Amino acid sequence: MLEKIIRKYYDEIFRYCYHHVGSRTVAEDLCQDTFVSFIEHYEGYRPLGKTKNYLYTIARNKCHDHYKKKTPLIVEQVPEQETGQRMEETVIMREMVMTLPEDFREAVILRYFQSMPYQDIASVLAISLSLAKYRVKRGLELLADMEGGAHGTT
Partner 1 sequence: MGQRKMKKRLKRYAAACEKIVPVEKEQRIQEILQAGRQQENMAGGSFRQVADSAFGYRARGTVWSFLLEQVGYLGRYCLVWQAAWLALFYYMVRHGVAQLFGKDNGNALLVVVSILPPLLILLTVEEVTKVYQRSMLEIEYATKYSLRSAVMIRMSVLCVIHSFILMICIVCLHFSTEAELGRLFVYGFTPMTMATALLFKMMQHWQGEFLLRASVGVYVLMAGLAFVGSSGYVNCYQPAYFKIWCIVCAIGIVSVVRQMIRLNRKLESYEAVVQ
| Binding stretches for partner 1 (CB under 8 A) | 1-7, 10-11, 14-15, 18-19, 24, 27-28, 31-32, 35-36, 39-40, 42-51, 77, 79-82, 86, 89-90, 93-94, 97, 108, 112-115, 140-141, 143-144, 147-148, 151
Indicate the residue among 50 and 70 with the shorter CB distance to partner 1: 50
For the chain, count helices (H), then strands (E). 7, 0
Q: What is the DSSP string of 11-52?
A: HHHHHHHHHHH--HHHHHHHHHHHHHHHHHTSTT----S-HH
Indicate the residue among 4 and 68 with the shorter CB distance to partner 1: 4
Indicate the residue among 52 and 68 with the shorter CB distance to partner 1: 52
Between CA 67 and CA 72 the distance in angstroms is: 6
- To the nearest whole angstrom, how small is the minimum distance from the Cβ of residue 68 to partner 1? 23
Residues ≥6 apart with Cβ < 8 Å to 112: none
- To the nearest whole angstrom, how small is the minimum distance from the Cβ of residue 50 to partner 1? 4
The secondary element (H helix, E strand) that includes residue 62 is helix 51-69
**Cα 8 from chain centre:** 18
- To the nearest whole angstrom, how small is the minimum distance from the Cβ of residue 90 to partner 1? 6
Indicate the residue among 17 and 68 with the shorter CB distance to partner 1: 17
